[in-house]
Amino acid sequence: MIIPAFDLIDGKAVRLYQGNYCHQKNYDINLYESLEQYALKGVKLIHLVDLDGAKNSKNRQLELLKKILSYTNIPIQIGGGIRNAKDIEILLNLGAKRVVIGSSAIINKDEVKEWLNNYGSDAIVLALDIHITNNSKKEIYINGWQKKTNYSLEEIIQYFFSSQLKHVLCTDISKDGTLLGPNIKLYLEIVKSFKDIEFQASGGVSALQDIISLKKTGVQNVIVGRSLLEKKFTIEEALQCWQNE
């Protein structure tokens, strides 16, 4: 599945270069018109990130998210500073298809296990952001990629597997927002290791060939952000490319 992505700051679509708020690029698009077009073209899921909420949970753009969710019938998964069960319930009650859990999956592992059990494996996506070391360890970073943890990607997936973890959004930090191409080797490895996980590949997609290459790794989903915003290809081309492979 091709999943178009929008990162939102103060109601505007933006992209951050490798998660850095100081390297922010604004896009002059009408989000609602984009959603209308995506619905007409057959998009099955949208990925939204509330970057204001990610930076400070008190600044979550709830009114905007409510408006977006009521505007479109396309299922939407939402991330950005989700730190407790109340945050999850608010977004699910507003109509979000899924909530995306990032840093909390590392900081509050036991609590996140409870969330998976309580809300169901289809309501939770774990967003695991990694840096690959020289010895090929997939180190997880949290807090907007500012803090390295002692956990590997494999350790965390294994930890939550007993709670019927299903959806994992995996981003290679070095690729995100760069348009330099995705880390194909990474997705080949993790798809082979965790056959029951539905992975969402994120970071680096810049051309239709990247989509073809990712499909061949076995990942079920590809998140596409900057390349759609900058018209590197159209959503029709991306969807057709995915279906034809």
Number of domains the chain contains? 1
- H-only helix segments in 56-194: 62-71, 85-94, 104-107, 109-119, 153-161, 184-193
Q: What is the mean pLDDT of residues 126-145?
A: 90
Q: What's 54's domain CATH number?
A: 3.20.20.70
Per-residue pLDDT, 18: 63
Where in the sequence numbering do the catalytic residues fall? 7, 129
Per-residue pLDDT, 176: 75
Best-predicted range by mean pLDDT (8-12, 161-165, 198-202): 198-202
Q: If you search the block for the tokens 């933006």, which residue do you land on? A: 14
Give pTM, 2 decimals. Answer: 0.94
Domain that holds residue 41: 2-244
Q: Does residue 17 register a pLDDT over 70?
A: no
Per-residue pLDDT, 129: 94
CA distance 215 to 201: 10
